[in-house]
Amino acid sequence: MRQRQVVQGTRRTREFEAFVAGASGRLLHTATLLTAEAPDHNPRARRLLTLALAHTYACWDRLRGEDPYDRTRQELALRYAHGTWRRHALLLRGRTHSAGPLAGLAPQERLIVVLRLYEGVAEEQAAALLGLPTERVGTICDRATATLLHPPREAAPTVVGAKAKVAAS
């Protein structure tokens, strides 16, 4: 009996390592997009991916035909949503400037854009995963896409001192 468990454990580990070798690059890119970090410096994305992969490994034997990539992506999205949305107010106060291409989006917008446009998840599946109505997911995705295509303009700096000097002359 002990020998059988060792063989099963070894097989499980090899299967999981093969999965990680094939999927970790894309999953890390997904996590990096979610956290809006620079691709060459992404500690939060790596931590997020590590936790999602650990969860997938823990339930590896219970997958029974389920796609491990989908399971890991789902866990990644849920961990991001739960961890980020709770701290969103704090992030706005102590705003750090992220270098990622999606840094201008709110966390919920980022999550939906990554799921829908980068990962190709159907609108209904994304809505079910996030517990939102399908129409809401579509609206958020449309708004975020418009923001990415046409970023808001920053207000032109006003020079109060220069106008006062010119008027005084």
Cα gap 38→58, rounded to integer Å: 29
In this structure, what token pair is assigned to residue 169? 């002359």
Residue labelled with tokens 């418009």: 146
* Composition of the chain by helix, strand, coil, percent to 5: 75, 0, 25
Residue labelled with tokens 């919920």: 108
Cα gap 18→153, rounded to integer Å: 46
> Is the pLDDT assigned to residue 82 strictly greater than 50?
yes
pTM (2 decimals)? Answer: 0.76
Band of the pLDDT at 3, cuts 50, 70, 90?
Answer: confident
